Amino acid sequence: MPDDARTPLPRAALILNAGAFALPVALGSLFAALLKTINPSGVDVSQELAYLRPILIVGFVLVAVFVLAAVVVDVVLSSRRHPFAPALWTILGVQVLGIVVFVVARLWEGAITGG
C-alpha cells in the first residue's frame, strides 16, 4: 500500500464504477429515442416494441463494455495497490448484486404469476 494515504482516486475510475449500469442505460435510451425519431425502416414507432432488437443489442453491448472497462480499471488499480481499489470493487459489486437480485425477483415473480 502506498505510504501516502491521500493518494487521489482517479475520477474516471470512480465515474466508470459508479455508472457501470446507469451510463449504458442512459446512452441506450438516447439511442432508442434517436432511432425512433429517424425511423430508418419506416415502421410504426407508436408501438412499444418498435426497434426492440437493435435497442436491446446496443443496450447489452454498452453494459458489457462499461462493466468490462470498470473491471479492467479495478484490476489495474488493485495491482498497483491503490488505497481506494477496494472501494471501487465494492461499488461495482453492490451494483452487480443489485442487478442480480432484481433479475431473480422478476423471474420469481413471473414463475409465481405464470407470466
Residue 47, all three cell numbers: 408501438
Instruction: Write the pLDDT tens digit of every residue in 16-74.
Output: 999 999 999 999 999 999 998 999 888 888 888 889 999 999 999 999 999 999 999 99
**Exposure of 20 by Cβ count < 10 A (0-12 exposed, 13-18 middle, 19+ buried)?**
buried
Q: Are 25 and 44 in contact (CB under 8 A)?
A: no
Cell 425502416, residue? Answer: 41
Q: Note the pTM of the prediction, 2 decimals.
A: 0.79
- Is the predicted pLDDT of residue 115 greater than 80, yes or no? no
CB 53 within 8 A of CB 73: no
In the chain, where the domains are located: 11-113
